[in-house]
Structure 1
Amino acid sequence: MRDQDLFINEFLKQVDTESKMEDYATTPWCIKSDYFGNIEWNKFKIFRLKRYFLQKQILLKITGEVSESKLTATIKFYYQESFVLSSIILAFLSFMLMAEINIYAGLILIILVAAQIAFTIKHYENGKRDFINLIERINKQ
């Protein structure tokens, strides 16, 4: 039980629990940490922020529970549904552009869609790895 409390205390130091999702929606620059959210009764829902160009955006939604020296977490790409839908629509439009108007413009658009998909997957994997490294670093202390 003592190890669990130490882990939770170290975890709380890394997560900005004072900031809520409403704070992110109104003033995202006021969030102090890369992680924010809430932890109640050993259950947590936190979000991972990442800076894209000039603004902070939510990259990951992490939900889980800490119980008896075991951490259970689900890491999800936050904009997963909209990302998949927009990628499908853009790919469809690029194929339509290749078939109807100009094959080169369609190829350029499909290459940009593929680059966007690769860029997003890379950021998701890096964010997931950062969170796992954070948990391992806390666990070693």
Structure 2
Amino acid sequence: MKEQKLQIFLDIISHYFNQFGSEEMVVDTPYLLEGKLPKVLDYTGVIGISGAQKGVVYFSATRKLLSSILSSMGERDTSEAMYIDLAGEVANTIAGNARTEFGSEFHISVPFVFKGAPQSIVLPDDERSFIIPITWLSQIGEIVVCLED
């Protein structure tokens, strides 16, 4: 994946958090995941990509980060289902906005969402995966992007 494509995802996630207006989201230096499984945080939403490009995009966050998002939205429901839905919503928003940049042949799946660490997350073996660490209101999350060039 080329750097300009990675910048699209950086812009999308920055825009997502800027809509809440309270504190600026901090993006740490993206890095390449090499030869190991990506870590996951408390909740993770995974979007499969098919069509002209293939790969995966996922958003993983701590419960506290998701709680901060819910609070900023004015949402009072802090049920387990709400955290799971929000992780999927953020992942879907990221991938959906990327679709507007990459075009109509950038097909996204419905989110697959889980709590905790699964047995594994399958990332394409033949492509590089980039991790974008984020911090917002002192809470952490990550966006993982793995798309064929």
TM-score, normalised with respect to structure 1: 0.31
Higher helix share: 1
Mark the structure with the bigger radius of gyration.
1
TM-score, normalised with respect to structure 2: 0.30
Q: Relative contact order (alpha carbons < 8 A, sep ≥ 6): 1 or 2 greater? A: 2
